[in-house]
């Protein structure tokens, strides 16, 4: 059984509604045939979720993701968006713990654990991000750094919750820098993440987890990265804002 292979777009804080509509229309005009175990996921800004969800209606294995949600269920948190709000407009996935959220908004491992819990309680699928900055990679302590991210935010969960879970590994030093981890570096870390999960939850659960690579993936390098044995697709930033690029990346899935 092939685990889910996913091309996930992260539009970040880009585009107007009109530009977003145009991008998704262009993309849907380009042929891409998703197999049963493949998914295209669109992580779009909050104001566009409803619109993009409607445009994807009836498209096979195509889903929307919010780029974040609150760690609180409801209440006096002006400007926040709850998981229940997202669920009420039939959002499928939520990106949790993106490196930009960790870095600019000081999201802690404990906060991310709370967000993951709320996603499960609400019936949303998290895409949990982990990864190391350049200083950690240069010190060659990336393995223990990522292990801490996983253990402190995920290890309270049970095996059933983590079966079919989605993790995105982002070498932060390769996001938007044009640097990409070599295919070997990507595979090495993905295998390490899978081994950490296997150590805690067993090989069957670990082998069911889709681990996506996020770090300057483009149409011209996607296939080589995705064909690594433990790489199950990508979380795509800049290249997801170009219809032809992202379509080619979808078509590069295993």
**Catalytic residue check, 138:** no
With a pLDDT cut of 70, the percent of the chain lying above it is 98
**Catalytic residue check, 170:** yes
Domain limits, the chain: 5-250
Catalytic residue selected from 100, 107, 132, 170: 170
User: Domain spanning 5-250 has what CATH number?
Assistant: 3.20.20.70
- The answer to pTM > 0.75 is yes
Catalytic residue selected from 98, 100, 107, 190: 98
Q: What is the pLDDT of residues 4-52, one digit of tens each?
A: 999 999 999 999 999 999 999 999 999 888 999 999 999 999 999 999 9
Q: What is the pLDDT of residues 181-190, one digit of tens each?
A: 788 989 999 9
Asked if 6 and 226 count as a contact pair (C-beta separation under 8 A), the reply is: no
How close are the terminal C-alpha atoms of the chain, in Å?
13
Distance, in Å, from the CA atom of 49 to the CA atom of 111, rounded to the nearest integer, reads: 24
Name the average pLDDT for the chain: 95
> Model confidence at 178, in pLDDT bands (50, 70, 90)?
low
Q: Dmax of the chain from CA atoms?
A: 48
């Amino acid at each position: 059984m092939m685990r889910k292979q996913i091309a996930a777009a992260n539009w970040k804080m880009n585009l107007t509604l009109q530009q977003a509509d145009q991008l998704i229309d262009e993309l849907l005009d380009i042929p891409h045939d998703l197999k049963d175990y493949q998914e295209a996921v669109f992580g779009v800004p909050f104001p566009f979720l409803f619109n993009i969800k409607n445009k994807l209606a009836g498209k096979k294995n195509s889903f929307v993701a919010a780029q974040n949600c609150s760690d609180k269920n409801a209440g006096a948190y002006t400007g926040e968006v709850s998981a229940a709000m997202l669920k009420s407009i039939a959002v499928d996935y939520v990106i949790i713990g993106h490196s930009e959220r960790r870095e600019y908004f000081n999201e802690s491992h404990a906060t991310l654990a709370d967000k993951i819990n709320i996603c499960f309680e609400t019936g949303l699928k998290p895409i949990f991000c982990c990864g190391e900055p350049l200083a950690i990679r240069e010190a060659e302590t990336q393995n223990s750094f990522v292990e801490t991210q996983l253990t402190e935010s995920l290890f309270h969960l049970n095996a059933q919750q983590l079966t079919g879970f989605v993790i995105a590994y982002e070498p932060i030093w390769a996001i938007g820098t044009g640097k990409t981890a070599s295919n070997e570096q990507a595979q090495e870390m993905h295998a390490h993440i899978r081994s950490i999960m296997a150590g805690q939850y067993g090989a069957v659960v670990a082998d069911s987890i889709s681990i996506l690579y996020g770090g300057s993936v483009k149409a011209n390098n996607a296939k080589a990265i995705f064909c690594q044995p433990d790489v199950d697709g990508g979380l795509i930033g800049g290249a997801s804002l170009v219809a032809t690029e992202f379509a080619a990346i979808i078509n590069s899935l295993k």
